Structure 1
Amino acid sequence: MNMKLSHDPAPIGVFDSGFGGLSVLREIRKTLPQYDYLFIGDNARAPYGVRSFQLVYDFTRQCVDYLFQQGCNLVILACNTASAKALRSIQQHDLPLIDPTRRVLGVIRPTVEKIGEITKTGNIGIFGTPGTIQSKSYDIEIAKMYPHFHVYGHPCPMWVPLVENRESEGPGADYFVKKDIDALLAQCSDIDTVILGCTHYPLLMNKIRQYMPQGINIIAQGEIVAESLEDYLRRHPEMEKKCSKGGSCTYCTTEEAEKFNTLASIFVNEKVEATHVTL
């Protein structure tokens, strides 16, 4: 592997299995517009949500390696499934061997940290892909930080296809969003905070708000991850110096670029011109 090890200032790498992480990237760029960003979407192998732990780890590791090869010193896994199934192994086992000065961060921990400020009842609902819910990663992180909280997870396998097929405002979205909200709340009538544990789900926010009872807090991850990254860079000036500042954003995809560009523009609200890459 041709890994750049110069540690010259380089873009912040952002990875997602598909498109959803672009909603996180959009919020990060709003909060921290001065930095350069390099996004890679592994769209050719998406969705990750139904893949085994081993495959998700293998695919995520390949994408992280790619970003490291481009010189990135800091990589954000803007994907709940990858954060759930691959982050810990990469942080604990791979980084010490690759380069202990580089960092890979996920989206689950910052989200969990935030809920302590929000919930009154300590009953937390999680919407996620089947893979994220099955991994119980949110349950584990919440139990570590808030052992007295109760977590209720519900998988939403149809939500990502609704978004990616541009049906997020259509009647099909009404049916599935209402059905899944009802199923989650049937587990506990005292849930007061619901985490959207997939970065696609904010694009369904209009429907979610329509069917979610008033008084329940809905947590989308983009702003939380952006605030957490800002805080991280403030606390780690040695890493902040390794992040280049040109205000640019470059997009790469393992899928055909033209196909990626059309849908990606919906997530970032601007024209996208991606480059196809082979891992």
Structure 2
Amino acid sequence: MKSIGVFDSGYGGLTVFKSIIKELPDYNYIYMGDNARAPYGDHSFETVYQYTLECVEWLFSQNCQLVILACNTASSKALRTIQQKVLPVKYPNHRVLGVIRPTAEVIGAHTKTKTIGVMGTRGTVNSESYPIEIEKFFPEVKVVQQSCPMLVPLIENNEHLTTGADHFIKKYLEELMAKAPDLDCILLACTHYPLLIPKLELFVPPNIELLSQGEIVSSSLKKYLSNHPEIESEIGKTGERIFYTSGDTETFDVSASLFFGKVVKSKHIHLQC
């Protein structure tokens, strides 16, 4: 039986994976983190595409017919090319889904002022993927963006809830809200950022909703499987969860447990650097 592949450049995708398992606990999953080459946020489009494609093809080789890119940077810089140019030619029976489109499809329901903010890595923000996708579904919604390059390092060094992180969190929030004082929803467009919610809530006005992607993506995946029984019926349902990392397994297991909320035991895979 096949598994559902879940990919991220590092740890953040585990927050999405956690929500997917909560929504769809019975399926078999393989999680793969490309920690040896993370972070992807500051890499070029071409580099992110090459890295993402290599990881997707590896998951295909592990009998994953369906792969979820639980990474905003990979979704913004690589997904479209993989879907349009690679799958039809090399893997016509495989599917790769991302996190941006499911979010864009529903985000309009979360704003009354029709103005939302997006916090993400430089790569995600510079790609303009969210303004482009949101406009397709909600052309009346204004989108303002803020790149937050210091947040991922703070999270991955477990410094995100310390007072030392306050400067950068307040700085990014103030810069974002200055661009659109009437925004009433902030999308956390990096899968690391849900770990910041306790800290963000200290500085975000109560009228502004903080929106993370885990529940959105898991709900979208549930609908997708329901609409594609030819794929759903092939997936094993013994609740198997296997974790792989291209980095050091001991380091991965410690940090991954923080993101996943449970003890993680990973296996190492070697990728071309």
The TM-score, its normalising length taken from structure 1, stands at: 0.96
Q: 2:153 aligns with which of 157, 161, 166?
A: 161
**Partner-residue secondary structure (3-state), 1:90:** helix
Q: In the alignment, what sits opposite 2:82?
A: 90
* CA positional deviation for 1:176: 1.1
Aligned amino acid, residue 96 of structure 1: P
**Contact (CA 8 Å) 2:108, 2:141: kept in 1 or not?**
no
Q: 2:35 aligns with which of 34, 40, 43?
A: 43
Moved >4 Å (runs of 4+): none
Alpha-carbon distance between aligned partners in 2 of 1:75 and 1:243, rounded to the nearest angstrom: 12
* CA positional deviation for 1:193: 1.0
Q: In the alignment, what sits opposite 1:3?
A: none
**Partner-residue secondary structure (3-state), 1:73:** strand
- RMSD (CA atoms): 0.7
- For the pair 1:13 / 2:9, whether they are aligned, the reply is no
**Partner-residue secondary structure (3-state), 1:127:** strand
* CA positional deviation for 1:112: 1.2
Identity among equivalent pairs (%): 52
* CA positional deviation for 1:158: 0.7
**Partner-residue secondary structure (3-state), 2:48:** helix
Alpha-carbon distance between aligned partners in 1 of 2:219 and 2:202, rounded to the nearest angstrom: 27
**Partner-residue secondary structure (3-state), 2:88:** helix
Alpha-carbon distance between aligned partners in 2 of 1:26 and 1:249, rounded to the nearest angstrom: 11
Q: 1:274 aligns with which of 266, 270, 273?
A: 266
Aligned amino acid, residue 223 of structure 1: E
* CA positional deviation for 1:113: 1.3
Aligned amino acid, residue 95 of structure 1: L
**Contact (CA 8 Å) 2:8, 2:32: kept in 1 or not?**
yes
Deviations 1:129-161 (A, max 9, x none): 000000000011011111121110000001101
* CA positional deviation for 1:50: 0.2
Runs of 5+ unmatched residues, structure 2? none
- For the pair 1:79 / 2:71, whether they are aligned, the reply is yes
Deviations 1:13-55 (A, max 9, x none): 0000000000000010011000011000000000000000000
Q: In the alignment, what sits opposite 1:244?
A: 236
Aligned amino acid, residue 9 of structure 2: S
* CA positional deviation for 1:91: 0.3
The TM-score, its normalising length taken from structure 2, stands at: 0.98
Q: In the alignment, what sits opposite 1:146?
A: 138
The total of aligned residue pairs comes to 271
Alpha-carbon distance between aligned partners in 2 of 1:113 and 1:80, rounded to the nearest angstrom: 15
* CA positional deviation for 1:100: 1.1
**Contact (CA 8 Å) 2:4, 2:66: kept in 1 or not?**
yes
Q: Following superposition of structure 1 onto structure 2, how do residues 73-222 of structure 1 map, counting pairs within 5 Å?
A: 73-222=65-214
Greater mean deviation of Cα atoms: 131-140 or 241-250 = 241-250
Aligned amino acid, residue 115 of structure 1: I
